[in-house]
Amino acid sequence: MHPPDLISSYWKTLYPASTTGKLYDFLQEAERYRTQAVFPGKADWYKDAVIYSLYIDLFNKDFSGLTEKLDYLDDLGVNCLWLLPILDSPMRDAGFDIRNYDRIRAGLLGLPEGFEKEEQERIFGDFLHEAHNRGIRVIFDIAINHTSDEHPWFLEAKRSEDNPYRDYYIWTKDTSLYSEARILFKGIEKSNWEPLGDWYYFHRFFNFQPDLNYKNPEVLLAMTKNLLYWQSLGVDGFRADAIPYLWKEAGTDCENLPKTHIIVKFFRAVLDYVNEGTLLLAEACQKPKEVVKYMGDGDECHASYHFPLMPMMFKSIALGESKPVIQTLSPEVTPKIPENSQWFTFLRLHDELSLELVYVSEEDRKFIHENYCHKPEWDFRVGEGISARLAELFQKDVRKIGLAYSMMLTLTGSPVVYYGDEFGKLNDEEFYKEQIQLTGKDDTRFLVRGRIDWDFLGKELKNEKSFHTKVYNLIKSLLNTRREHPAFGRGDTQFTDAVSIDNKPIPEVLCYTRNTAEENLFIVNNLSGHSISIKNPFTEKNLFLLNLNGFSYDDETETINLEPYGFVWFGIV
C-alpha cells in the first residue's frame, strides 16, 4: 500500500467520523519534511547498537559537556546514546513531565530561558554532528501518554469547559470511570483521578502528569508533528514512554487496547514515509507476549524492551541456576518477533530493578527483593522495584557485576548500559535528599541518578587497584568486544547443555551459541559462587577467545574451567 494510503487507513480506523481534510493538510506538511537521511546506513542499525542511557545534566552538565565526553563514550564501546528526558519540563519527574515538546531545557543548551529556536537547533545540531561523526546514533525519550500540568495545552484546558484544548485531556465528575485501570505508582498515588474544581482529570502516573486524550484527532496530529520536527533535525529515534496506555475505553483496564496499536502504526508509517530508519522504541512494561504486539508485523515499533529477562538474570545469579533465563527466553514465554525487529536488554531500566507483577510472579518478586533490596530505603512501589545502582545490588562484587554484563551483552537483543554503571557508580544519598526537597516526592529512584564527579573518577581510574578501575576495565573490554561482533545483535540463540567430565548436568552454568551465516559464537557463564569445570562441547571445532574473566582451559581433559562467577566468550571456526 502506498504510504499516504496506509496512513489514511489508520486514520479512518481511529476516527471514522472525522473529516479527512485535517489529515490531508497534515500529509502535505509531512511531505515537506521528506529529505535524505541525515545519517545514512542500514535501516536496521539498531540491531548492532550498544546503547548508553544518560541524563545529560547528571552526566556532564549540558550538551557542551556531553560533546566533550563523546570520545570517552566511543572509547568505552558505545555506538548509540539514549538521552533520558531532555525536553522542556518543570522537572518534577526527571523530565518525563514535558512542558513543551519542541523545546529542549534551557540549562541543557547552556542558554537562558526564552532562547530562540534557531539557537536550539544550532547547539543541538552541532552535538548531533559530532556524535554522528564518531558513528554514534542518538535517540531520546518522549512521553506520548501524558504531559506536565504546566504544558500550554493543559493551562488552556483548565481555563474553561469550552476551551478548544479541554478535549486534549480526559475529564469527568464520575470517578468510577476507568475503575479497572490499575494504580501504576502504587504507594505514591492513591487514585488515577485528580480533582480540579468541580471536575477530575485522568492520570496514570504522577498527579501532575495529566493523560492525553487520543480520541481527539488533534492530539494524534500534534504529537506526530513533534516527532517529525526532531526527526528533521537528525535524531535517530525515539523511546516512546508509557506506550501501552495511550487509548482508554470504559470497562477495560486501559492497557494494550487495539486502538493503541493503531496509534503506534500511525506514528511508524509517518516516520518511515519521511525518513526510513528512524527508530521507534516501545517502553511497554508487559509480558513478552503482549510486548511483541507493539512490533506488529514489523509495522509498529522497531524494538521493545525485554522486561522479564532483566529480573530473571538477577534471579539466576542469586539462585546459581540457569533455568530462569532459559525459561524466560523460551518460545513459550518469548514469542518470535518480526525479522526487522529487536529486543533491547538491560540490567535496570533506567532507574530501578523493576519487579512489576505484570511480568514477574509474586514468588519471584519476593525472592529477588529479599536477595537484592539490602536496605529498606531502596524499596520502590511497595516491593515492585528496587532503587539501587548495579554495584550496590551486587554489594560491590566485581565478579558478579562482570557476570551480569556478560549475560546481558551476549544474550538475545541490543544491550543498554546505564550511565555510571561502567565504573560501578554507587547510590547518591545527597542527590536523593536534594530531589525530595525540590519535588516534594519521596521517589527512591533519585538514589540511582546523581551526578558523575569526573575529577574524582579521573583520580580513581589512575589507581589500578581501586574498585572503580576494576569495574571500568572489565566493562569497557566487554563492550568493545560486543561492538565488534554482529552475531551478538543479529544471531539466533541456542542454549547448550553444560555437563561435567563424567556427563552429569551442571545447572549452575548458562551456555549458548549465537549464530549467523557469517559468524558463530559460544558463551559460558558460571552463575555460582564456586569453581566449575564443564566439557567442551565443540572439541571437533576450533575455539578462539574473545573475552573472559576467571577462565582457564585444560587441554588434557578438554574442559572449560571457570572460577566463581567467571565467564568466557569464544568464537567458533
* Residues identified as active-site: 241, 283
C-alpha dist (Å) from residue 67 to 40, 127, 129, 405, 455: 21, 6, 10, 26, 17
Contact 294, 338 (CB under 8 A): no
CB 111 within 8 A of CB 123: yes
Coil, strand or helix at 436: helix
Cα 307 to the chain's mean position, in Å?
9
CA 62 to chain centre: 21
Cα(389)–Cα(424) distance, rounded to whole angstroms? 8
User: In the block, which residue shows the cell 480526559?
Assistant: 170
HSE, side-chain direction, 13 A CA sphere, residue 369: 22
> DSSP label at 54?
E
The three-state (H, E, C) secondary structure of 282-340, written as one string: ECCCCCHHHHHHHHCCCCCCCEEECCCHHHHHHHHHHHCCCHHHHHHCCCCCCCCCCCC
As to burial, measured by CB atoms within 10 angstroms (0-12 exposed, 13-18 middle, 19+ buried), residue 542 is exposed
- In a 10 Å sphere around its CB, with 0-12 CB exposed, 13-18 middle and 19+ buried, how is residue 65 labelled? middle
Which of these, 416, 327, 402, 405, lies nearest to 364 by C-alpha position? 327
Q: 319: closest CA among 561, 529, 525?
A: 529
CA distances from residue 141 to 209, 318, 355 in whole angstroms, order as listed: 16, 32, 22
- Tell me which residue of 119, 492, 47 sits closest to 281, measured CA to CA: 47
| Cα distance between residue 329 and residue 334, in whole Å | 5
Angle at 146 between CA 142 and CA 148, to 5 degrees: 90
Measuring CA to CA, how many Å separate 276 from each of 237, 279, 569?
A: 11, 9, 34
176-180 contact pairs (CB < 8 A, 24+): 177/202, 177/250, 178/202, 178/248, 178/250, 178/254, 180/251, 180/252, 180/253, 180/254
Query: By the 8 A CB rule, do 151 and 99 touch?
Result: yes
Alpha helices in 411-528 (DSSP H): 429-439, 454-460, 467-484, 487-490
Contact between 383 and 355 under an 8 Å Cβ cutoff? The reply is yes
